[in-house]
């Protein structure tokens, strides 16, 4: 795709003035002139001066002491120049490098942002409030922009787990460089876990709530964050186990089952 074709795509989605959290699969666009950087630059242009582009800049696979994290026997220390975890995608990594993009300092779940509300959104994040920027986006009635990705990538759905008081939001430790340049181990609260089962929510989406456009190998979709979180909340209130995946070796979801089981026992069998 060319820069002009991307600009027309964003125009068809009506992004001007929007505040958006972006989850992108670069390969879904086919060949892009300039790669992920072009996607990011045209997105910033599309929302304009009144909008904000936010992307996950997560590094949990590298910095977390969570036994479910992969590839490292010893966590790396988070710092502002640490590359985004590979599974988050090349577009998010390209966005991190754009001039003027800000990044939060959460050691496992940092976000990068550019635009009108960027600083305010990122300032809401704390070690015990990793989803702060998405809560701010919800207040602003922002949008979830899914570019060739499924709801498996939609971090905003974790807001529903907080809203219903899911007992499995975890405590973790991670490593971060402090202001003096020394490594420090920090305790994190309310850390979200596996999102593989988020894909089950796809069948419950109301097409009339979504604005979409085709791309080379998939679909670009704009979903109101408030609608998505409310939908996920209603599902969890009906079935607290809905977002437990079926992978037998998933450590995160095994922990979810245990936590929900303990709560059920504590409530005399309710809440399982």
Single out the residue of 139, 93, 146 nearest to residue 120, CA to CA: 139
Residue spans per domain, the chain = 3-239
Phi, psi (rounded to 5 degrees) for 185:
-90, 130
Provide the pLDDT for residue 268: 72
- Apex 68 CA angle, 66 and 72, nearest 5: 75
Structure tokens belonging to residue 66: 């969570």
Can you list the alpha helix ranges (DSSP code H) found in 48-103?
60-63, 90-96
pLDDT tens-digit series, residues 212-267: 999 999 999 999 999 999 999 999 999 999 999 999 999 999 999 999 999 988 87
Whether the pLDDT of residue 70 is over 70: the answer is no
Whether the pLDDT of residue 270 is over 60: the answer is no
Q: Show the beta-strand stretches assigned E in 16-92.
A: 19-24, 52-56, 77-78
Give the Cα separation of 226 and 145 in Å (integer).
Answer: 13
Band of the pLDDT at 66, cuts 50, 70, 90? low
Give the Cα separation of 218 and 162 in Å (integer).
Answer: 30
Spatial contact of 63 and 176, defined as CB atoms under 8 Å apart: yes
Helices (H) and strands (E) counted in the chain, each on its own, are: 9, 10
Residues 101-117, mean pLDDT to the nearest whole number: 97
Whether the pLDDT of residue 194 is over 50: the answer is yes
Single out the residue of 137, 108, 143, 107 nearest to residue 122, CA to CA: 137
Single out the residue of 60, 80, 58 nearest to residue 68, CA to CA: 60
Give the predicted TM-score (pTM) of the model.
0.93
């Amino acid at each position: 795709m060319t820069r002009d074709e991307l600009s027309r795509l964003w125009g068809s989605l009506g992004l001007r003035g929007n505040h958006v959290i972006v989850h992108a699969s670069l390969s879904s666009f086919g060949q892009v002139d300039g790669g992920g950087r072009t996607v990011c630059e045209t997105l910033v242009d599309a929302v304009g001066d009144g909008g904000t582009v936010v992307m996950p800049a997560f590094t949990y696979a590298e910095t977390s002491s969570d036994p479910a994290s992969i590839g490292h026997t010893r966590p790396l220390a988070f710092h502002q120049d640490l590359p985004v975890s590979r599974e988050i995608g090349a577009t998010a990594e390209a966005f991190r490098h754009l001039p003027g993009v800000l990044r939060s300092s959460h050691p496992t779940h940092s976000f990068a942002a550019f635009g009108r509300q960027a600083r305010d959104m990122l300032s809401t994040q704390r070690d015990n409030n990793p989803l702060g920027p998405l809560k701010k986006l919800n207040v602003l009635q922002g949008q979830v922009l899914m570019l060739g990705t499924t709801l498996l990538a939609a971090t905003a759905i974790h807001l529903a787990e907080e809203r219903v008081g899911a007992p499995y939001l975890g405590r973790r430790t991670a490593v971060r460089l402090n202001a003096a340049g020394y490594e420090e181990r920090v305790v994190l609260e309310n850390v979200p876990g596996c999102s593989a089962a988020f894909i089950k929510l796809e069948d419950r989406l109301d097409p009339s709530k979504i604005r979409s456009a085709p791309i080379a190998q998939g679909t670009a979709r704009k979903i109101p964050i408030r609608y998505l979180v409310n939908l996920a909340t209603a599902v969890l209130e009906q079935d607290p186990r809905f977002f437990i995946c079926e992978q037998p070796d998933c450590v995160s979801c095994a922990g979810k089952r245990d936590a929900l089981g303990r709560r059920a026992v504590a409530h005399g069998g309710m809440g399982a």
